[in-house]
Chain A
Amino acid sequence: MSPISRGFHGRHRDATADTDRVPPGQFVTTDFPVLSAGPTPYTPLESWSFSITQGGDTVKSWSWRDLQALPVEDITVDIHCVTRWSKLDTRWRGVSVDALLAEADRDARYVLAFCDGGYTTNLPIADVTGGQAWVAFGYDDQPLQPEHGGPARLLVPHLYFWKSAKWVRGLELLAADEPGFWERYGYNNYGDPWREQRYAGD
C-alpha cells in the first residue's frame, strides 16, 4: 500500500457530484483531459469527407458541406473515460449517426469507425443507432478543436469514451465484429461504464 503524500490532491475531483450519474470507479472532473495514442491529424475541411463503407466499397459519402446540411442536433451528455475521469453535462453539436446510416445496409451488425491517423474502434450497429450516437463537430458552442478530435469525432456517450473516436472519417459496415485499436491491445470489446467493462474479459 503506497504511503499517502501529505497534502497532495491532484486534479480537481468533485466528490459532491450526483453519484447516480457517475459510474463505478470514476471521478468527476471539470477539466477536459486530452488523451491520444498518436499525433494530432489536421485535415483541411476542403479535403474532409465522411464515408459509410462496406466490403471495400463506399456506400455513401458526405463532404463537410454535405454534413452541415443534414439535420443538426445540440445534445448535452455525460462522458466517461476508461482512465477514470467523467465529465458531466458536456455540450455537443452534431449529426445523428441514424441520419448517416439511414440508407445503409442494416443487415450489417457491426461497425468499425476509422479515423485520420489510423485509429479504429468497433461497435455493434445497435449501439450507434436509436439516437445513441453522433458525428459531433461542435463542443461547448465552438467548433471542435483538433486536440479533442476536430473537425469531427464520433460521440457515443453510453460507452467508455475511447469508443467516441476522434478525427473520425467514416464507418465500415461489418457482418462480423472486428476489434479496433484499444480492443486489440486489451481493452473491452464493448465498454459499458455501468458494468465497468474496462478490459477484455471484464
Chain B
Amino acid sequence: MAGTAVRGRLTWQVATVGAVVDETPAVRTIELDVPDWAGHRAGQHLDVRLTADDGYVAERSYSLASAPGEPVAITVERLPDGEVSPYLADDLRAGDEIEIRGPIGGYFVWPWQEIVSPLLLVAGGSGVVPFRSILRHRADLGSTTPTRLLYSARSLEDVIYRAELDVVRNGLEVIYTLTRQQPPSWPGRAGRVNDAMLREIAWLPSQRPIAYVCGPTAFVETVATGLVGLGYPADRVKTERFGGMGGG
C-alpha cells in the first residue's frame, strides 16, 4: 500500500544501487533497491547519508523520481562545486550501497486534498524531479485532471525526462522555456519564467487550481510571488526550494 502512514520511526537503512540512467550530461537517475521501503506519495523525498573511510559524513535530500508503486529512484544533478552530487552522479555504480531514509514529506505531495483541481507544475531545472513522480502517478491513477507543466531549463540538452514529457496525453500540457540557449528554429519559449509568462500559462484563479513550484530558491520565490500576484491563494501555491551553488 502506498505510504500514507505518517507515524512511526524514520530510520536509516542501507539501499543497493541498481540501474543508473544518464538523463543529460549532468544528470543521472539512480534506481535503488530498498529492502524495507514502505511505499511513498508522489512529491516526497528521501535523505541520503554518505560516510567516508575517515568517518566524515555528508547528508543530502533528493526528491523521489519514481511514482508510488515503482522501484525507488532518485535523479541527481551534478553541481559544479558539489560535495555529494558528483559522487552520486558520476562515481556510484550498480551494487554500491548507500544509506537512505524515507519517504519524507507531507506538504509537497500530490494529490493534496482533492484530485479534481487543475494542476499547475512549475519547475526550474532539477526542480522537475518530483513532478516526474506526480505525473507518473497521475497517469497510473487514470486521472485526466487538466495539468500544465511549465519547465524552465538552460537549454534543450538540459531538459530531463524529455522523451517521457513529450508524450502529451490525457489533459497534460508541457511547456518548456529555455533560458540560455535555444536550438535553431525553436518554436517554444525562451527566457526566464516571469509574471508575463505566468499570466499566459497559469490556470485562472477562478478555476480553483493548485500550483506546485520546485527549483532553486530564487526561482521559487519569483514564481510563487508571481502566482500569488495573479490571485492564487497562498495556500494553493506549494513550494519546494532546492539548494543550488555550494549546497550539492
* A11 and B98 within 8 A (CB): no
Closest to A5 in B: B50
CB of A37 to closest CB in B, whole Å: 16
**Residues 1-41 of A at the B interface (beta carbon under 8 Å):** 2-11, 13, 15, 27, 34
Q: Which of B12, B52, B58, B246 contacts A4 (CB 8 A)?
A: B52
Q: In the complex, which residues of chain A have a beta carbon less than 8 angstroms from the beta carbon of B12?
A: 2
- Does B83 count as interface, using CB distance less than 8 angstroms? yes
* B interface residues, how many (CB within 8 angstroms): 20
Closest to B87 in A: A8
Taking chain B's interface residues, is the majority helix, strand, or loop, or is none over half, making it mixed? mixed
What 0/1 pattern do residues 59 to 72 of A give for CB contact below 8 A with B? 00000000000000
Docked CA distance A10–B52 (Å): 7
CB of B216 to closest CB in A, whole Å: 16
* A13 and B96 within 8 A (CB): no
A residues in contact (CB < 8 Å) with B: 2-11, 13, 15, 27, 34
Q: What are 16 of the A-B contact pairs (CB < 8 Å)? A: A2-B12, A2-B51, A2-B57, A3-B14, A3-B99, A4-B52, A5-B51, A7-B87, A8-B87, A8-B91, A9-B52, A9-B87, A10-B56, A10-B83, A11-B83, A13-B54
B residues in contact (CB < 8 Å) with A: 12, 14, 49-54, 56-58, 83-84, 87, 91, 96-99, 246
Known A6-B96, A10-B58, A27-B56; further 8 A-B contacts with Cβ < 8 A: A3-B97, A4-B51, A5-B52, A5-B87, A5-B97, A9-B87, A10-B83, A15-B54
